[in-house]
Amino acid sequence: MKAAVLQKIQVLTIEERPQPHPGPGEVSVRVRAVGVCGSDVHYYQDGRIGTQVVTAPLVLGHECAGEIAELGEGVTDRHVGQRVAVEPGVPCRHCDMCKIGKYNLCYDMVFLGTPPIDGAYREYVVTAADFAHPIPDSMRLDQAAMCEPLAVGLHAVNLSGMKPGDSVAVLGAGSIGLYTLQCAMTAGAGATFVTDPLRYRLDIAKRLGAGRTLAPEEATEAIMEATGGSGVDVVFEAAGALDTPQQCFDIAARGGTVVFIGICSRDVQEVQFGIARRKELTIKLVRRFANVYPRSVALAAGGRVDLQCAITHHFPLGDIAEAFRLVENYEDGVVKAIIEM
Amino acid sequence: MKAAVLQKIQVLTIEERPQPHPGPGEVSVRVRAVGVCGSDVHYYQDGRIGTQVVTAPLVLGHECAGEIAELGEGVTDRHVGQRVAVEPGVPCRHCDMCKIGKYNLCYDMVFLGTPPIDGAYREYVVTAADFAHPIPDSMRLDQAAMCEPLAVGLHAVNLSGMKPGDSVAVLGAGSIGLYTLQCAMTAGAGATFVTDPLRYRLDIAKRLGAGRTLAPEEATEAIMEATGGSGVDVVFEAAGALDTPQQCFDIAARGGTVVFIGICSRDVQEVQFGIARRKELTIKLVRRFANVYPRSVALAAGGRVDLQCAITHHFPLGDIAEAFRLVENYEDGVVKAIIEM
Amino acid sequence: MKAAVLQKIQVLTIEERPQPHPGPGEVSVRVRAVGVCGSDVHYYQDGRIGTQVVTAPLVLGHECAGEIAELGEGVTDRHVGQRVAVEPGVPCRHCDMCKIGKYNLCYDMVFLGTPPIDGAYREYVVTAADFAHPIPDSMRLDQAAMCEPLAVGLHAVNLSGMKPGDSVAVLGAGSIGLYTLQCAMTAGAGATFVTDPLRYRLDIAKRLGAGRTLAPEEATEAIMEATGGSGVDVVFEAAGALDTPQQCFDIAARGGTVVFIGICSRDVQEVQFGIARRKELTIKLVRRFANVYPRSVALAAGGRVDLQCAITHHFPLGDIAEAFRLVENYEDGVVKAIIEM
Amino acid sequence: MKAAVLQKIQVLTIEERPQPHPGPGEVSVRVRAVGVCGSDVHYYQDGRIGTQVVTAPLVLGHECAGEIAELGEGVTDRHVGQRVAVEPGVPCRHCDMCKIGKYNLCYDMVFLGTPPIDGAYREYVVTAADFAHPIPDSMRLDQAAMCEPLAVGLHAVNLSGMKPGDSVAVLGAGSIGLYTLQCAMTAGAGATFVTDPLRYRLDIAKRLGAGRTLAPEEATEAIMEATGGSGVDVVFEAAGALDTPQQCFDIAARGGTVVFIGICSRDVQEVQFGIARRKELTIKLVRRFANVYPRSVALAAGGRVDLQCAITHHFPLGDIAEAFRLVENYEDGVVKAIIEM
């Protein structure tokens, strides 16, 4: 099968690799669509994200969907040809984190496209059967691949503990921000504010129903004014910018909640905890997701969330480097580029 | 001013009473609309609800709205003529329950129309200024009166801790059931089921978007089948029937939540806790509401909840006994009758 | 190996059975001590508990400890001879309940001594390695067997969400009640009340530090008086009596929590939910336990919980019927009888 | 009456002031003991804490206890001569924060010794009757003054949501750290670690039962080693140091909770949120306390918490500047200096 392999920093080649076959309880999936994630581009550019370093040739990609190609021994609740969204991280099911239900924190996680595990930019991937989630006929496979960033947003909303009527700000209108916004609206958000430096992304947020869309530098004042000086009940940081943590503290209401989703490219950030402390904020940090994939599929299938909103470009596998370049440079109104296979 | 006074069981008269005036921090409200609640009818019929007994002539009514007629000393954030939904219970603000934020459990609550406190079937009521909640121009006063049962539903949904995608059943499609349904949908309910013995009420639920509407006797089997045998994540009991608690346990999913809102006319109910225990259910019981009135107004004003859905009849104050009779007998497709004043 | 087999109602025989050997990821344990649980006696007496029916010869017993006799393939973190408390229920690790961390609600649970799974009254049992919990040298094996009812109590306390200083009542001073009491004290219980019809059991509770020990019929009045009429913050029902659920509602404080642990021998119980509703109680029902065994061992090892307190009798395997008879009839000051093997 | 007045930075004088008398619902308290808090010293040194600036002569002090001297109109549940611990912040009881039970976040808080409200370094203070908490005869008044930092610790433990058996680290062994430690132990902490640069403070923690006491610079490595590399479940930051936030993230376990109590003298702190995000930590920030004073008194009265542990020095009012100097310079083994009046 074909696979796009990161040979070293900024060098991607298309190689022929042996096709994998499923073991007991597993399925193989013929991959049809893979979303280009910011983290893929990080690995491509820098060879690392934080402590996770690429030390050998690696296949990237973890936002993927396709059709089941082969069933492993004992798999009876899936069938060949079934269209599935692939949840990219399979946990060990035995460690303490798995047993308490936080399998996203598993000590022995196998996550597609995270060193040293090969990812989804290849024709076939093998995964646990229960992590290949069936999708309805009405969902396209490129949309199904977007269940991954949607799952991040839904997990973030679940962690926030938000209640109907809570005012909400989402900082960053990339794919995760846009899906988080929609999940927050599904959970009954009252007033909603979205910030992003890119106007075309704010336009998408507006179309999805955001109450106010704001450039980051004007957002603090505008949000405080719009809320009568009290700030918003829940802030979702989905920008990964250097100064958005502080802005979260500034715009959160007393007793409010701040959810950090974004990954900042700089390790160290400066913040004033005093502001957060005087408001007695709760800060929840988000690590991927757990137990939300079937619901992500269902919310999209039921029309509560528009998966399509973030998809702006499609590329064949052979043009993957061009896709990465586009995403890296925020060119041509890109939010999410899909690699079609 | 005119007031409808419950003289004794089943005897209501219209009397002239002195008009009350607000003390410091209070306002008086010219009442324009009062909803007939099942509890009003209970008091009218039986002279009591549980341990709360009518021992002297009493003005009933607690679902009300009107215009501010007079401001007490020190009230600066309300104005005469302002249209308001009246939150009917004013707590002491000093007891332990008030201090921890559960003011609905206040040890010294003053609640309209609950013995020995006179209620809202009169031209003027006095209340704390911060319990007279401004409504937008777009909201009619009979609708504003419905913020009371809506507040019950919103409080119930908040207590449930439900998350987006949770499957939900609402047992009982009276006004509280209908508003609870809408709050659950606002909070992101996945599959929704509503039961009621009255078909015309189920039709309203259907119009509001309920997924399945069911007669109580067919509901258990239908819900279990529709959920693949697992049951629903959250059940709201808004019927107050003798056997609905057991049905809640039967249709709840493992690890699910049951919320008891309804008031049963019989004191003692029979249940099988074993079923609830094997599923490790959480049961939340609802006592009125706290801290949800402004949000109830906002959700309705923003079009998330249709206050109008339950309003089926209007009566002048002089015909209040007729209104009670109608509600008591479920005649003429009644859900909520409004007394207009 | 020898095993005590329930042939039919009230007929227990000692049989020779083939010794089981561990599969991959499993260990076999040479059982040394098994506690006689009320549920064992229920099965012995009635052949069933609720919907769980003994239809074929069955080995009972699930409160057990022993030494590891054999390691299955791939087990590297246990060793032969290691002394362990055996967590008696091994979940499937794949179903929705397992994935969210509520593995006690697993759809495919294998639980010792629950039909049709053979239990621990035999010389060897096989279990998953991570469900054989190492114990320190200071803990005797009969004490280690008591980690099972202790785990129930700790799980109940965790579910209660109790906070330091909460007043607590424990209804029922059998082994689960006594361990629940200790877990609640460990969690910072303020005033504590324990009820039981058996004076000798109350004496044990008193020695463990219970504030007040009361006969059930005097408890409601005494608790309400002692709490100034407000009732207790958290009530643990560990009696399984017919009328204790109602007593829980009667003695709980406004906004309080009631935790149902006990299993009632009668299916249907009568309660007044109105009392619970007016106090806006939360009711948590307990199904065994999950994720608490290591902590149960640690709390006992650290001296926070006295495992020994409930152990009153020891019997050899051959006298198991005599042990059952003793427990069934509450004879000779029995709380917990241990079968030694 | 006599009062110690901060005239300007580092200038404290003893002045004669008129004695205040209680209004309706209030009491006046003859102050007998006031603890010197780090925040008092901050105001004395810098004239400000964050955005709170001393612009006029101010009486500092908020950790106080005394005897009720006079009852305001309508106060029936207190009596003259009654010994009380004074909860120093009286909220408005009407704003949204008050109504939801987070009265520590009140928009109109009156807090002793916080500009522009005069504090407790004077012979009489007036407060709301329900914020003057009766203490038992067994509690000395200097101990009763320590209910204030104890309340901070208890509130922090409540916010943490910790469960019995959780491993806990407390960074900082000043009075708040020492009381937080004890509250955490009362709540069932498993392994406990305390850090402080001052050895004599660690010795107090050790006497209180801390498992390990560590210098800050050795703590990360020691804690990670002692926990088998997993870190602790709950970290309480009670140091207010520049680099402790990062250390909290470093030593917290996956899925763990970090509670920020300490006030840092520098506004801006540098942290790596990436570490916290990969562990999916929850961060709770603490603003004073709410609804814990009666329990703080009860826990101390019941012997669960040793109020005495932090009290190292006593000074007469006239020597208050000397007391401040001692505290500021960590001289003579000081933890808490009490001003006696």
- List the single residue in A245, A273, A285 with the smallest CB-CB distance to D285: A273
Give the residue-averaged pLDDT of B8-25.
96
Confidence of residue B267 (pLDDT cuts 50, 70, 90): confident
Helix extents (H) in chain B: 38-46, 96-99, 141-145, 147-160, 175-186, 199-208, 216-226, 244-251, 273-278, 293-301, 320-328
Give the residue-averaged pLDDT of A215-243.
97
CATH architecture of C150-285: 3-Layer(aba) Sandwich (3.40)
Contact (Cβ atoms closer than 8 angstroms) between residue B120 and residue B62: yes
Give the residue-averaged pLDDT of B10-17.
95
Predicted confidence (pLDDT) at residue D79 exceeds the cutoff of 90: yes
Mutate to test the interface with C, among B283, B284, B292 (most CBs of C within 10 A): B283
A chain contacts of residue B298, beta-carbon cutoff 8 Å = 165, 190
Amino acid A333: pLDDT: 97
Q: Is C101 left (phi over 0), alpha (psi -120 to 50) or beta?
A: left
Return mean pLDDT, chain C.
97
C chain contacts of residue B284, beta-carbon cutoff 8 Å = 282-283
Confidence of residue A265 (pLDDT cuts 50, 70, 90): confident
How far apart (Å, rounded) are the C-alpha atoms in residues C72 and C28?
Answer: 8
Amino acid A40: pLDDT: 95
CB contact under 8 A, B282 and C283: yes
CB hemisphere CA count around D320 (13 angstroms): 30
How would DSSP label each residue in B2-69?
EEEEEEETTEEEEEE-PPP---TTEEEEEEEEEE--HHHHHHHHHSEETTEE--S-EE---EEEEEEE
Amino acid C27: pLDDT: 98
Q: Which residue type does A185 have?
A: M
For the segment A23-73, what is each residue's pLDDT rounded down to a tens digit?
999 999 999 999 999 999 999 999 988 788 998 999 999 999 999 999 999
Give the residue-averaged pLDDT of A106-134.
97
A chain contacts of residue D257, beta-carbon cutoff 8 Å = none
Kind plus residue range of the DSSP H or E element containing A3 = strand A2-8
Predicted confidence (pLDDT) at residue D265 exceeds the cutoff of 90: no
Amino acid D299: pLDDT: 97
List, edge to edge, every strand of the sheet that includes B11-16.
B11-16, B2-8, B58-59
Please list the helix, strand and coil fractions of chain D in percent, rounded to the nearest 5, in that order: 30, 30, 40
Kind plus residue range of the DSSP H or E element containing C299 = helix C293-301
Distances (CA, A) of B27 to B142, C192, D74, D259, D294: 20, 45, 24, 43, 34
CB contact under 8 A, B295 and A186: no
Strand partners, D67: D30, D83
State percent of chain D over pLDDT 90: 96
Distances (CA, A) of B86 to B66, C147, D252: 8, 55, 48
For the segment B117-135, what is each residue's pLDDT rounded down to a tens digit?
999 999 999 999 999 999 9
Return mean pLDDT, chain A.
97
Confidence of residue B49 (pLDDT cuts 50, 70, 90): confident
Predicted confidence (pLDDT) at residue A313 exceeds the cutoff of 90: yes
Tokens 């010219």 — which residue?
B30
CA-based nearest residue in chain A for residue C25: A94
The Cβ of residue B191 has, within 10 Å, a number of other Cβ atoms equal to 19
- List the single residue in D99, D102, D130 with the smallest CB-CB distance to B94: D130
Amino acid D202: pLDDT: 98
Amino acid C265: pLDDT: 82
Closest-CA distance of chain D to residue A6, Å: 24
B chain contacts of residue C286, beta-carbon cutoff 8 Å = 277, 280
Amino acid D112: pLDDT: 98
CA-based nearest residue in chain A for residue C131: A94
CA-based nearest residue in chain A for residue D260: A277
Contact (Cβ atoms closer than 8 angstroms) between residue D95 and residue D108: yes
A chain contacts of residue B163, beta-carbon cutoff 8 Å = 158, 187
- List the single residue in D94, D96, D291 with the smallest CB-CB distance to B99: D291
Tokens of C302: 């650290």
Amino acid B50: pLDDT: 79
Contact (Cβ atoms closer than 8 angstroms) between residue C177 and residue C236: yes
Confidence of residue C15 (pLDDT cuts 50, 70, 90): very high
Give the residue-averaged pLDDT of A171-175.
98
CATH architecture of C2-146+307-340: Alpha-Beta Complex (3.90)
B chain contacts of residue C268, beta-carbon cutoff 8 Å = 270-272
For the segment B285-340, what is each residue's pLDDT rounded down to a tens digit?
999 999 999 999 999 999 999 999 999 999 999 999 999 999 999 999 999 999 99
Q: Which residue type does D125 have?
A: V
Give the residue-averaged pLDDT of C8-13.
93
A chain contacts of residue B153, beta-carbon cutoff 8 Å = none
Confidence of residue B204 (pLDDT cuts 50, 70, 90): very high
How far apart (Å, rounded) are the C-alpha atoms in residues D308 and D142?
Answer: 8
CB hemisphere CA count around A202 (13 angstroms): 17
Confidence of residue D286 (pLDDT cuts 50, 70, 90): very high
Predicted confidence (pLDDT) at residue C196 exceeds the cutoff of 90: yes
Tokens of D92: 């408005």
Closest-CA distance of chain A to residue B80, Å: 23
Give the residue-averaged pLDDT of A118-126.
98
For chain B, the structural domain boundaries read 2-146+307-340, 150-285
Amino acid C113: pLDDT: 96
A chain contacts of residue D245, beta-carbon cutoff 8 Å = 273
- List the single residue in D165, D190, D299 with the smallest CB-CB distance to C164: D299
Predicted confidence (pLDDT) at residue C267 exceeds the cutoff of 90: no
Closest-CA distance of chain D to residue B161, Å: 17
For the segment C124-157, what is each residue's pLDDT rounded down to a tens digit?
999 999 999 999 999 999 999 999 999 999 999 9
D chain contacts of residue A260, beta-carbon cutoff 8 Å = 273, 276-277
Closest-CA distance of chain D to residue C162, Å: 9
Amino acid A288: pLDDT: 98
Distances (CA, A) of A234 to A190, A281, A288: 11, 10, 19
For the segment D134-192, what is each residue's pLDDT rounded down to a tens digit?
999 999 999 999 999 999 999 999 999 999 999 999 999 999 999 999 999 999 999 99
List, edge to edge, every strand of the sheet that includes D11-16.
D11-16, D2-8, D58-59
Contact (Cβ atoms closer than 8 angstroms) between residue B172 and residue B195: yes
For the segment C305-335, what is each residue's pLDDT rounded down to a tens digit?
999 999 999 999 999 999 999 999 999 999 9
The Cβ of residue C272 has, within 10 Å, a number of other Cβ atoms equal to 18
Of the candidates A190, A246, A192, A176, which has an alpha carbon nearest to the alpha carbon of residue A217?
Answer: A246
Confidence of residue C52 (pLDDT cuts 50, 70, 90): confident
Chain C residues with CB under 8 Å of a chain A CB are: 25, 93-94, 96, 98-103, 130, 290-291
How far apart (Å, rounded) are the C-alpha atoms in residues A128 and A89?
Answer: 9
Query: Cβ contacts of residue B312 below 8 Å, gap of 6+?
Result: B332, B333, B334, B335, B336, B337
Contact (Cβ atoms closer than 8 angstroms) between residue C266 and residue C242: yes
Return mean pLDDT, chain D.
97
CB contact under 8 A, B298 and A165: yes
Kind plus residue range of the DSSP H or E element containing C311 = strand C311-316
How far apart (Å, rounded) are the C-alpha atoms in residues C207 and C226?
Answer: 20
For the segment D25-62, what is each residue's pLDDT rounded down to a tens digit?
999 999 999 999 999 999 999 998 888 899 899 999 99
Amino acid B310: pLDDT: 98
Contact (Cβ atoms closer than 8 angstroms) between residue D34 and residue D339: yes
CB contact under 8 A, A291 and C94: no
Predicted confidence (pLDDT) at residue B277 exceeds the cutoff of 90: yes
Of the candidates D33, D45, D11, D124, which has an alpha carbon nearest to the alpha carbon of residue D338?
Answer: D33
Length of chain D counted residue by residue: 341
CB contact under 8 A, A190 and B298: yes
Of the candidates B180, B121, B123, which has an alpha carbon nearest to the alpha carbon of residue B321?
Answer: B121
CB contact under 8 A, A187 and B188: yes
Confidence of residue C85 (pLDDT cuts 50, 70, 90): very high
Q: What is the value of ipTM here, to two decimals? A: 0.97
For the segment B230-262, what is each residue's pLDDT rounded down to a tens digit?
999 999 999 999 999 999 999 999 999 999 999
How far apart (Å, rounded) are the C-alpha atoms in residues C260 and C252?
Answer: 13
- List the single residue in D164, D165, D295 with the smallest CB-CB distance to C165: D295
Q: Where are the beta strands (DSSP E) in C94-200?
A: 110-111, 124-128, 132-134, 168-171, 192-195
Tokens of A193: 């504010």
Q: Which residue type does D212 have?
A: R
Predicted confidence (pLDDT) at residue B52 exceeds the cutoff of 90: no
Query: Cβ contacts of residue D183 below 8 Å, gap of 6+?
Result: C164, D150, D153, D154, D156, D157, D299, D305
CA-based nearest residue in chain C for residue B156: C280
| Residue D339 phi, psi (nearest 5) | -90, 125
- List the single residue in A25, A96, A101 with the smallest CB-CB distance to C99: A101
Contact (Cβ atoms closer than 8 angstroms) between residue B145 and residue B310: no
Tokens 């859905």 — which residue?
B309
The Cβ of residue C320 has, within 10 Å, a number of other Cβ atoms equal to 25
Give the residue-averaged pLDDT of A147-164.
98
Helix extents (H) in chain D: 38-46, 96-99, 141-145, 147-160, 175-186, 199-207, 216-226, 244-251, 273-278, 293-301, 320-328
Of the candidates D239, D265, D263, D262, which has an alpha carbon nearest to the alpha carbon of residue D46?
Answer: D265
Length of chain C counted residue by residue: 341
DSSP structural state of residue B320? H
Closest-CA distance of chain A to residue B107, Å: 26
Amino acid D206: pLDDT: 98
How far apart (Å, rounded) are the C-alpha atoms in residues D318 and D341?
Answer: 9
State how beta strands B2-8 and B11-16 pair: antiparallel
CA-based nearest residue in chain B for residue A304: B188
How far apart (Å, rounded) are the C-alpha atoms in residues A234 and B265?
Answer: 41
B chain contacts of residue A188, beta-carbon cutoff 8 Å = 186-188, 299, 304
Q: For helices A320-328 and A38-46, what crossing angle results, to 10°? A: 100
B chain contacts of residue C283, beta-carbon cutoff 8 Å = 282-285
CB contacts < 8 Å between A and B, how many?
Answer: 48
Closest-CA distance of chain C to residue B80, Å: 36
Strand partners, D15: D3
CA-based nearest residue in chain C for residue A95: C130
